[in-house]
Amino acid sequence: MAVESIPAAPPVPARATRPPSFVTAAFRVFDLSLGQMLWSRRTIFLALVVSAPVILGLIVRILTSVGIGGSVRLGGSAVVAGPSIFGLFIWLLYLRFIIPVLGVFYGTSLIADEVEDKTITYLFTRPIARGAVVVGKYLAYLAATSLVVLPSVMILYFLVVPTGGGSLAAAFPALVKDLALLGIGLAVYGSLFAWVGAQFKYPLVTGLVFAFGWEQGIMVIPGYLKRFTIAYYIQGLVPHAMPQDSALSILQLVVRDSLSVPMSLFWLGFIFVLFLALAARAVSRREYVLEQ
């Protein structure tokens, strides 16, 4: 009895592996980069920087506890309570110094560290868009800096606000505004310095010159040049976040020529989107030739 042979099925072509979407790739880079940032020597150094306001807040609390003034006086009679002291710390220490420092040291390193460590080519051999690499590392920067700043701010809040009869519950809305200001500052400065890190050969030096040379100098000069700084637009949000205290009229004089809140938010959003897009474009178009 003849057995009919069954023809073999044609081979199924191997399915081509599709590269991950932009969003998926960005979150993969985020997951890879966050741990590296948190456990880097840079984070240890910057954790020491953000501990400075906590030390000052502890000094204020100790002086209050031993009875050396229950509050701070300006001009001999104007009393500044705990919530207002906390607001001054946010403006003078965090927004004018710590946030730019974090932006410079983290933002400029997003791509520059990969080039210096000669790992950039391995990162770009993966089937993902270069722009997704920039966005993923930028998101990791936001998470890492938030984890560095938030504990410092909260410890300072609990140390300083109760002094001078201040109430933690009453000051909580101002705390939310302050945290929003810090988040905006981290986002915008990080976007700018991510572009600096992708565009310039010596990004850290360029970033420090901008943050502590250009911005600090131009902000005290009357005229329109201060509109080419990030600090000017953040300054427009500060009076609305600070506690309403007559003793803080000196701060109102400093920021008297600032923009309105809607205009400040508009320009900060514009700067954020512009420089993050420029950073992604610079990385996408640049050829990285590693020096031997």
For residue 1, pLDDT beyond 80 = no
Residue 6 in domain: no
> What pLDDT, in 10s, does the model give residues 27-72?
888 988 888 888 888 888 888 889 999 999 999 888 887 765 545 5
Name the residue range of residue 136's domain. 22-64+75-285
Domain count for the chain: 1
> What pLDDT, in 10s, does the model give residues 236-280?
887 655 555 544 545 555 555 667 889 999 999 999 999 999 999
Q: CA–CA separation, 79 vs 226, rounded Å?
A: 32
**Burial of residue 224, with CB atoms counted within 10 A of its CB: 0-12 exposed, 13-18 middle, 19 or more buried:** exposed
Q: What is the pLDDT of residue 285?
A: 83
Q: CA–CA separation, 222 vs 16, rounded Å?
A: 61
Q: What is the pLDDT of residue 267?
A: 95
Q: CA–CA separation, 216 vs 96, rounded Å?
A: 9
Tokens coding 72: 């701070």
Nearest CA to 109 out of 164, 25, 190, 215 is that of 190
Residue 93 in domain: yes
Q: What is the pLDDT of residue 247?
A: 46
Percent of the chain with pLDDT over 90: 32
Nearest CA to 84 out of 186, 157, 180, 182 is that of 157
DSSP helix/strand/coil, 117 = coil
Averaged pLDDT of the chain: 81
DSSP helix/strand/coil, 72 = strand
Residue 2 in domain: no
CA dihedral 229, 214, 89, 259 (to 10 degrees): -30
Confidence of residue 127 (pLDDT cuts 50, 70, 90): confident
Q: What is the pLDDT of residue 12?
A: 52
**Selected residue with higher pLDDT from 220 and 50:** 50
Residue 95 and residue 234 in contact, taking contact as beta carbons nearer than 8 Å: yes
Q: CA–CA separation, 204 vs 227, rounded Å?
A: 23
H-only helix segments in the chain: 22-38, 41-65, 82-89, 99-102, 109-116, 120-124, 130-160, 168-199, 203-209, 215-218, 230-235, 238-241, 249-254, 261-285
Residue 5 in domain: no
Residue 69 in domain: no
Residue 82 and residue 162 in contact, taking contact as beta carbons nearer than 8 Å: yes
DSSP helix/strand/coil, 73 = strand
For residue 291, pLDDT beyond 70 = no
Residue 201 in domain: yes
Q: What is the pLDDT of residue 216?
A: 83
Tokens coding 140: 């990791």
Average pLDDT estimate for 221-225: 79
> What pLDDT, in 10s, does the model give residues 186-202?
999 999 999 999 888 88
Residue 3 in domain: no
Considering just the CA atoms, what is the radius of gyration of the chain in Å? 25
Residue 161 in domain: yes
> What pLDDT, in 10s, does the model give residues 251-260?
555 555 667 8
Q: CA–CA separation, 149 vs 203, rounded Å?
A: 23
Residue 181 and residue 268 in contact, taking contact as beta carbons nearer than 8 Å: no
In the chain the first and final C-alpha atoms are separated, in Å, by 74
Q: What letter does residue 94 receive in the DSSP assignment? A: I
Q: What is the pLDDT of residue 243?
A: 55
